[in-house]
Structures are given as C-alpha cells and as structure tokens.
Structure 1
Amino acid sequence: MHDFAELLDRLIYTRSRNAKLKLIADYLRAVPDPDRGWTMAALTGDIDLKGVKSSVIRAMIEERVDPLLFRMSRDFVGDTAETVALLWPEPDAARAETLPGDELRVAQVIERLTGLTRAQAPDILAEMLDRLAIEERFALLKLATGGLRVGVSARLAKTALAQAFDLDVDAVEEVWHGLKPPYLPLFAWGEGHGEQPTPADVPVFRPFMLAHPLEDARVDLSDYAAEWKWDGIRVQIVRVAGETRLYSRAGDDITGSFPDVAEAFAIEGVLDGELLVRGEGQGGALDDGGGAASFNALQQRLNRKTVTARMLRESPAFVRCYDILFDGAQDVRALRWEERRVRLERFVSRTGSDRFDISSLIEAADFDALAQIREAAREGAIEGVMLKRRDSAYVAGRRVGLWYKWKRDPLTADCVMMYAQRGNGRRSSFYSDYTFGCWTESGELLPVGKAYSGFTDEELKWLDRFVRNHTVDRFGPVREVEKTLVLEVAFDSVHDSKRHKSGLAMRFPRISRIRRDKPAEEADRIDTLRRMIV
C-alpha cells in the first residue's frame, strides 16, 4: 500500500494537470500487475466494494475512540477517511504479534474486501488498518469506499496510462469498457507483449463526443446545424450479437433501469441520444416538450434495481436520438455529420418503435434569429441548443470548433441562507455548502435547495466568516445561521418534489451573487418559484 498511498498523497497536493499525468504514468510503469490495474480502477471509479460503507467505518472508529471526539474531529478535518486514519489506535504488543509481517498490497486489499457483507467487513478492515501507517490507512479507506477525491478524472487517468506506454488515448477509451479490472490485456498491449484488445461481438460503451459551451461566440449557420438540447440524461444504446445495452455518459450500464427501451431496440447498431420519459397524456408536439416530461419525472426511474409495472406504464422511457456511431456493424464515426444524420433518420425509421425519435433541427435564417428561438424555448424539456459543424466526424471527447452547447439562460431567485456545512478536500476547512430557503405567504422560511458552487475563492472566505460569526445553533456538522443573508441563486429549472417540505426542488442550483444589499424579508416567495415550474 505504500506506493499507492504515496501516489494519492502527491496527487492531492499537485494542481498542475501535466504534473498529475506524470505522477500517474511513473507509478504505472514502476508498479507491477495487478496492483497498477486496481489503482486504475480506483482512479476511474470502477471499484464498488459493497460491504464497506462510510457507516461501517464510523461504527468501527466509535468503538475505539470517544464518539464525541470523533464527530468533533470529523467536523474539523472535513473528511471521514482522514479523520479515522489519524485517530485509529496503534495495536498493543499482543495484537501486533498476531499480525502478518509482509507488506499489504492493493490487489490483496481488493481480493479480501470483494464480496464481504457489512457484517464481515469490520473485522477484516480493522486487521488491515492495524497493519498500516497513517498515510496508508488513509489510502486504504479511500480505496475501500471508492471516494478518492484527488483531482483526477477518469479521462485524465486514461490519458496518463496512454502516455505511460505511448498509446493513443482514444484507442484506450475504445476498449476500456470491454475489459475488467485489473486490465491485464491493456497493460500487456502497452508493454508490447500482447495484442491490442478489441470490443468485437460485445456491446461495449464507446466514448461520447462532447461539446464546448458557446459563451459569447457566434457561428455561421451555413457551417453549423442547430438542434434542440433536451433535459434528460445522455445515453448510448448498443446492440451487438443479439444483445442490447444502455449506457450513461459515465459508461455505467443502466439497462436494468430501462428494460422497456432495451427490449425495443432490436437492430444492430450504436446510437447516441437523450433518455427521457413521457408523462400521462403527453403527446409529441414540440410546444409540450416533444412528448417529454420534466427531468424530475425521469429521476423517479433512475438508479432503480427493479422497475415496477406501474412505473413502466405511467412513465414510459424513450430515447431522443442525436447521432449514430455504428450502422449495423459499420463504424460510421468518421463520416461527416450531414452523412450521419441521413443514416440516423433511416435507422430510427427502421426501428418501428415509438421508443426512439430524433432531436429536431432548428430552422433559422441567421444567428440572431436562432438566438430569439432559443430564448423563447423554455417550455417542455428543452435545455438549450446544440450547434454541430456540418462536416464534423464523431470524435471522442471535447474538440474545439466542432460541437457547441448553447444552454438557455438560467432562472434566478433571491433566497436566504439557512444552514451551512463544511466542504470536502481543499474546502474541508471552509463552510462552503449552503442550504437556502424562500418565504411562504405566512412568513415561514422553508428550504428550497443546496449549493456549493458559483462563488470565487474570495467570496468563499467571506461566506465562511459570515457562517462562523452568525451561527445560532449546531446539529452535528451542520450550522444554523441567522436568517439575514440573501443569496441570488441560479438554477436550470424547478420541479414539484414530495421529498422537500417546501414541495419544490431546484435543478443544478449555484450561487450567482451575494446580495449584501438586500434585506432578507425581501427575498423571493415559494409561490414565485412555483410559477417557474414548466
């Protein structure tokens, strides 16, 4: 665990992207199989040790140290793994004599923790923690819970692997989801003593083509096609050798949550689109969202291990298709967008199913006309506009100048800060997570959302001081503050929610402005937010 712990420690304190790439690449060249493969799985989020949850770890440490000391320390440190690593008591002499003397390796940890129940996990995990130094305990707990938080995305980790062995990162991405940790064929290929893995005859995930925000730029509509950007979740649907799989943007297999879509996809190929659901009585006209219900309706079906017959009946899912990657067995990603669009239309018509349709193209005379159309399109499940270069190939990742996303302007509301909690990672010393509310007609302040982004580092310092100086009560790690500070909150949409006392839930809320000039009693009302529901 020493090498793995050192890697995590150095990644946490390294901000430079190139420096992070070098750290990971050096580690992958120096560490043998299968440890390096399991490290890649940890960095890319491909490890799920179901028996080890934060609640198990909290229970373990509270058996060994005063629970109040742990909770106060956790509140100060801001990270459970770091707190437990620091507080974990050293084994006494009798206990130390019973522990193995060899070094604990990453692969051993994974092997021993895989398949454990929550009842079995504490004893096994405790024996490991007893054998390790503080920094290694931290690494073990991060590995076990799957929450590394070291500033490394899955794409960056794969880029580092490609650089370590002089591979093409897109080729690595292409085969990644067809392999299982610890990725032995991938490293064999990289070191030159194995063939390049291929995804033949397996319904594997391919990396999505992504878009850059348009921001203040303008494009020529003779070079770019405009189509609607829908407010669902981006998915890829794959059928190969008689088997269909549905993947999320992160490459997670979500077929089990949407069997109605998978069963209707019976033609071999790979499509890119937006997963949506229809509500009762919704048709297909654009002015009612093209048949799509709100994102809140889709959330009722996400992450469900079992989908009830009632849910299938009342919230049928469908895919609004954006692009085609494979037409049958033919890889068409290298074709121009215009050619792929023709193939996509033909492919979708052949499905013969209302589970699949195509995102509409937008006819506009020029960019200014498109801007007016975009501004008026807040109804239904429309999130904005996509601009796609007509001659662009389907290229994995985010390439400049090919695709742009032009999201509609966010909604805003003036809300009152109610509660605050410390953040994680480099924000663990700051109160950076804020719960805010709006007023009812009777003058009661009810929570409507929580945000932890949108502000600068200087504004964070100011907000942290406000929380510390205006705390009126504490509930574990949460501080209740005086209801005097108004925050202008930007959000994409608002929906009905039975889980919140206010009856509302915001989508993607973020702090856009600190309204020190505005009295709290002049913040917005719940009814104002309710009128924003579409």
Structure 2
Amino acid sequence: MIRFAGLLDRLIFTPGRNAKVRILTDYFREAPDPERGWAVAAITRDLDIKTIKAGQIKQLVYTRVDGALFDMSHDYVGDLAEAAALIWPEKPGQNYVPTLTDAVETLNGVTRTEALEVVERWFDALDASGRWALIKLATGGLRIGVAARLVKVALAEYGGKPVQEIEELWHGLKPPYLSLFSWLEGGEKPASAAAAPFRPVMLSHPIEEADKPKIDLAEMSAEWKWDGIRVQAVREGDERRVYSRTGDDIGGAFPDILAAMPFDAAIDGELLVFDPHVRDRFAVRPFNDLQQRLNRKTVSQKMMKSHPAFIRAYDLLWLEGEDLRPLPFEERRARLEGLLLREHRASPDGDERFDLSEVVDLPDWDALATARANPPLDAIEGVMLKRRSSVYVPGRPKGEWWKWKREPFLVDAVMMYAQRGHGKRSSYYSDYTFGVWKDAENGRELVPVGKAYHGFTDEELRKIDKYVRDNTIARYGPVRSVRADEDKGLVLEIAFEGLGRSTRHKSGVAMRFPRVSRLRWDKPSREADTIETLEAMLPEEA
C-alpha cells in the first residue's frame, strides 16, 4: 500500500498530462505483478470491493476518536477518507504493512465483519497517506483526476504499442491484467476475448478563423452537431453494447437501445432523448433530459417511457464481419443509409431507436455561419464538416473532420455558496454555486442557477478563496455561505452551452456545462442578470 499511496500522491499533485503519464509508466516498471494490475483497475474504477462501505469506516473511527471531534474534523476537511486517515490514533505493536495485492485479495475473500477487523489492524500499521489510499480503494471513491484513457495511454507508452490496440482489447481483459502486461513486455498479444468490442473513435477539430482558407468546402459533407453524447452501438451475435466515446460500457442505463439493435454492426452516432408525445418520433429533447438517464447502473420502466433514448447515426464502422473503417466516409455513409433503410423496411411499426444524421446543404462560409448561429432546433449546437474521402482513424487527424459550435451563452451571476475542492484544491474554496436576481414579495432575491469549478487561474483561485473566507456569513460543513445581496457580492461571468427547465432547482432552470468566464470584481452585484434573462434563453417548448 505504501508504493500505491505514493503513486496516488504523485498523480494528484502533478498537474501536467505528460508528467502523469511518466509517473504511471515508471510505476509499471517498478511494481511487480499483480500489484500494478490492481493499481490500474483501481484508477480506472474497474475494481469492485464489496466488503467495506464508507459508513463502516466512520463507525470504525468512532471506536478510537470522540464522535463529535471526528464529525467536526470531517466537516472542516470535507472528505471522509482524508479526515479518517489524519485523525486515526495508531496502537503500537502492529508492524505488518499490507501490500496493494494483500489489500485487494484479502478484502475480496472475507466477510464484512472480518474485513473491518482487518482494516483496523492495517490502519495501525499504515501512515496517514497509506490509510487514505486504503479507504479510497476499499470504498470505491478513488477520484484523482486521472481518466481511464490516460491510464491506457500510459500502458501504450510503457509497452510501445498503439493505444488503439489496447482500447480494442480492453473489454475482454480482466484485472489484474497479467496477459496485458505480458504482451506489453514482449509476450504474445492477448486474443480479443470480448464480442462486440469498442473501436477507438475519430474526433474533429474546432474551426478557428485561420483554418477557413485551408478547408475546401467542395470536398466536405456537412451535418448538424447535436447536443447529446457521442456513443458507439455495437452488436456481434448475442452480445450488445453501448460505449461512450472513451470506451466505457454504458449499456446498463440504455436497455431500450440494446433491445432495438437487430443488426450485427458497429454504429457511431449521437445518443439523444426524444419526446414520446410528439408526432415526430425523433423530436429531440434538451440535453438536461438525457442527463436524467446518464450515470445509472439500471433504469426503471417509467424512466424509459418518459425519457426514451435513440441514436442519431452518422457513421458505420463494422458490418457483419467486415471492417469498414478503411473505406472513404462517403462509402461508409452510403452503407449506413442502406442498413437503416433495410431495418426500417423489416419493421416499419417496430420500436426503432436509430435514425440517420441529416446531410445539409451549406455550400459556403456565409451559409455555414448562418446555420451555426440560427440552427432549426435548440438541440443543435453547431455544424460538422467531414471530408468525403476521409477514412476512419482513431484520434484527431488534422484536416479531416471539423466542428463549428455556436458561441456560448453568457450571463453575470452572483456567488452564493462556496465548497472546498478535492485533491490539490482541498485547502481552497474552489466550487461555486451562483445565482441571478428574481423579484420576490419583499424585494429582489438571488435564486441558484448553477455551479462551476473551473475557468479561473490558480492566482485567481487564491483571490476568490480569500474573498470567501473574508465574506462568510454561515458554515454548513465543507460549504460556506457568502454575503450576496444588492450592496455586496462577487459577480461571476458564467459561460454555458445550453439551458433547460428543471424541477430540481428553485430557479426552474439548469445550465449545460457552466464555467467561470471572467471574474467581475468591477461590477456591482445589483447589476447581475435576472431570471427573466435566462428564461428568455430557454428553448421553445415542443
């Protein structure tokens, strides 16, 4: 656990992506099997230890520390694992320090009662850093700012292999990945054990003004850019999967999509939610409705009925045993049209969940700019350009696919609450809830409309943190309420991608991808925007 805890510390406190990759590759060289494989599984969140829950850790700490003292410490620190690791008073005599392999294999082989006894002994042997790592490992709360794909990139660099090969194998591999590491070190490549594998996605470049002269529109096919999430729907025999763009299997949240895949194919497209009450079966609902179905392990029949999902298909990567990725986009597109037309004819009244992304006629930059700024539906966030001759290759090849998104919405809002961050930000108030003005019975009041935690520099973070501490009017555990009235308040210029109605928020609206665009130290809080400003930005009701 000491080596694993050191790895986590270095990853948390190292900001650069390339530096994190170097840390991981160094660890892969130093750590033996199966330890390094368990570490990979823990960081990618593919490790499931069922014998320890966060509540049990809290009760265990209560046996050594006064409950009120720990609760106050927990409130101040804001993280259960960190508070427990720091406050735990060791008992002398326990000197066996477990390895990461010990921790995983032991905790997966004992009962919950036995697991708690084991953890108590290990807490006495480990230092604070080791205890923190053990708690995060055991409770599944390991979030250290390292995406699963970054780990795959590090594995590829360690073994000198293309990351795309690792991504295609990934869902057929099991922790602790002994066959993977053997291959990376010169052994035989693991057989692709997973049916319906993920195929690494092809990405687009944002269009900047300097790019326009380089793009020959006569060679491009134009489509709308939809405000959903990029997915890959794959069926091979009896195996059906829906993958996110990073290769995570999200099919458990979309059984209605899985059930409506009659073809052996891999389709690339946009996951969206349609309105079941509108005659057009694929009338797209706002992203906020799709969000109700994301990040769920299971979904109820009621949710599937009220928020039915579908895929707007725009590419065909594999069909009935044939890899189509080496073909030009124009040919793949024709094969996709034929497949969807064939399936529609086979079941004209069936529960179809796939339709074709429309090709739009945008012959020049003026037409593109007009379409981008005034799309026919609010669920469209811009336009896409794809070279008709482009083959499908993983990554972001220059000059093949382009995206031109709408300019973000901007509003001025007032900070209302601030919460401590995580990792290297755990000592700063870095997560901000903000609101806009609304007329009330006794004058105007602020109503929360969103939360943001990025868009500012480290230097700006220190200034905001000082402002929060100097203007706190109430404390709620790790959250502080700051002064926010018409005479005093910190105005934040907030950029966001879209807006939807919400019954969960007092304001009645929810923002899509809000972030701090600017700090408006110069602007009086009374001049921040009103709820009417945001309501005017809402998409029209279907």
Aligned to 1:421: 419
* Structure 1 residues 300 and 371, CA gap change in structure 2 (3 angstroms): same
Aligned to 1:293: 285
CA contact (8 A) 1:50 1:117 kept: no
Moved more, 499-508 or 60-69: 60-69
Tell me how far apart the structure 1 counterparts of residues 317 and 165 of structure 2 sit (CA, whole Å). 15
Tell me how far apart the structure 2 counterparts of residues 457 and 394 of structure 1 sit (CA, whole Å). 39
Does the alignment pair 1:158 with 2:163? Answer: no
CA contact (8 A) 2:371 2:383 kept: no
Aligned to 1:511: 516
Aligned to 1:454: 455
SS in 2 for 1:334: coil
Aligned to 1:496: 501
CA contact (8 A) 1:201 1:240 kept: no
Shift of 1:127: 3.0
**One-letter code aligned to 1:205:** F
Moved more, 362-371 or 105-114: 105-114
Moved more, 10-19 or 463-472: 10-19
SS in 2 for 1:185: helix
Aligned to 1:444: 445
SS in 1 for 2:439: coil
Aligned to 2:374: 376
Shift of 1:269: 1.0
Aligned to 1:315: 307
Aligned to 1:243: 239
**1:254-302 Cα distance to aligned partner (Å, 9 max, x none):** 32322222111111011111111211332449xxxx6111122223333
**One-letter code aligned to 1:509:** P
Moved more, 259-268 or 224-233: 224-233
SS in 1 for 2:218: coil
Structure 1 unaligned runs (5+)? none
Aligned to 1:10: 10
Q: How does 1:93-112 map to 2 (within 5 A)?
A: 93=93, 96=94, 101=96, 103-112=97-106
SS in 1 for 2:65: coil
Tell me how far apart the structure 2 counterparts of residues 123 and 401 of structure 1 sit (CA, whole Å). 59
CA contact (8 A) 1:486 1:520 kept: yes
Q: How does 1:27-106 map to 2 (within 5 A)?
A: 27-74=27-74, 77=77, 79-93=79-93, 96=94, 101=96, 103-106=97-100
Aligned to 1:334: 326
Shift of 1:475: 1.1
SS in 2 for 1:273: strand
SS in 1 for 2:268: strand
Q: Normalised by the size of structure 2, how large is the TM-score?
A: 0.89
Tell me how far apart the structure 1 counterparts of residues 358 and 129 of structure 2 sit (CA, whole Å). 53
CA contact (8 A) 1:229 1:382 kept: yes
SS in 1 for 2:14: coil
Q: How does 1:134-173 map to 2 (within 5 A)?
A: 134-173=128-167
Structure 2 unaligned runs (5+)? 345-349
CA contact (8 A) 2:234 2:240 kept: yes
SS in 2 for 1:392: coil
Shift of 1:329: 0.8
Tell me how far apart the structure 1 counterparts of residues 525 and 19 of structure 2 sit (CA, whole Å). 46
CA contact (8 A) 1:471 1:482 kept: yes
Tell me how far apart the structure 2 counterparts of residues 34 and 319 of structure 1 sit (CA, whole Å). 39
Does the alignment pair 1:405 with 2:403? Answer: yes
* Structure 1 residues 122 and 444, CA gap change in structure 2 (3 angstroms): farther
* Structure 1 residues 113 and 507, CA gap change in structure 2 (3 angstroms): farther
Name the count of aligned residue pairs. Answer: 523
Shift of 1:304: 4.2
SS in 1 for 2:393: coil
SS in 2 for 1:386: strand
SS in 2 for 1:20: helix
CA contact (8 A) 2:90 2:123 kept: no
SS in 1 for 2:317: strand
SS in 2 for 1:209: coil
Question: What is the root-mean-square deviation of aligned Cα atoms in Å?
Answer: 2.6
Aligned to 2:107: 113
Shift of 1:451: 0.7
Tell me how far apart the structure 2 counterparts of residues 372 and 295 of structure 1 sit (CA, whole Å). 23
Moved more, 496-505 or 209-218: 209-218
Tell me how far apart the structure 2 counterparts of residues 292 and 118 of structure 1 sit (CA, whole Å). 46
**1:316-366 Cα distance to aligned partner (Å, 9 max, x none):** 221101211112111111222222111221222222263111111221121
SS in 2 for 1:501: coil
Tell me how far apart the structure 2 counterparts of residues 115 and 388 of structure 1 sit (CA, whole Å). 52
Does the alignment pair 1:255 with 2:247? Answer: no
Does the alignment pair 1:220 with 2:221? Answer: no
Shift of 1:86: 2.1
SS in 1 for 2:38: helix
Moved more, 471-480 or 222-231: 222-231
CA contact (8 A) 1:322 1:358 kept: yes
SS in 2 for 1:207: coil
Tell me how far apart the structure 1 counterparts of residues 176 and 228 of structure 2 sit (CA, whole Å). 33
* Structure 1 residues 209 and 526, CA gap change in structure 2 (3 angstroms): same
Q: Normalised by the size of structure 1, how large is the TM-score?
A: 0.90
Shift of 1:192: 2.9
Tell me how far apart the structure 2 counterparts of residues 73 and 247 of structure 1 sit (CA, whole Å). 40
Shift of 1:378: 6.9
Shift of 1:239: 0.7
Shift of 1:237: 0.8
Moved more, 148-157 or 360-369: 148-157
**1:152-188 Cα distance to aligned partner (Å, 9 max, x none):** 3322222222222222222111101221111122122
Does the alignment pair 1:530 with 2:535? Answer: yes
Tell me how far apart the structure 1 counterparts of residues 15 and 298 of structure 2 sit (CA, whole Å). 41
**One-letter code aligned to 2:122:** M
* Structure 1 residues 462 and 116, CA gap change in structure 2 (3 angstroms): farther
CA contact (8 A) 1:242 1:268 kept: no
CA contact (8 A) 1:50 1:116 kept: no
Tell me how far apart the structure 1 counterparts of residues 33 and 295 of structure 2 sit (CA, whole Å). 33
**One-letter code aligned to 2:271:** L
1:183 to 166, 171, 177: 177
Tell me how far apart the structure 1 counterparts of residues 376 and 534 of structure 2 sit (CA, whole Å). 15
Shift of 1:389: 2.9
**One-letter code aligned to 1:130:** D
Tell me how far apart the structure 1 counterparts of residues 17 and 253 of structure 2 sit (CA, whole Å). 36
Does the alignment pair 1:272 with 2:268? Answer: yes
Tell me how far apart the structure 2 counterparts of residues 263 and 462 of structure 1 sit (CA, whole Å). 52
**One-letter code aligned to 1:458:** E
**1:231-265 Cα distance to aligned partner (Å, 9 max, x none):** 12222111112321222234333323222221111
Tell me how far apart the structure 2 counterparts of residues 411 and 425 of structure 1 sit (CA, whole Å). 30
CA contact (8 A) 1:273 1:321 kept: yes
Tell me how far apart the structure 2 counterparts of residues 256 and 19 of structure 1 sit (CA, whole Å). 34
**1:467-525 Cα distance to aligned partner (Å, 9 max, x none):** 11111111111111111222221111222212222222111111112223332222222
Tell me how far apart the structure 1 counterparts of residues 105 and 398 of structure 2 sit (CA, whole Å). 42
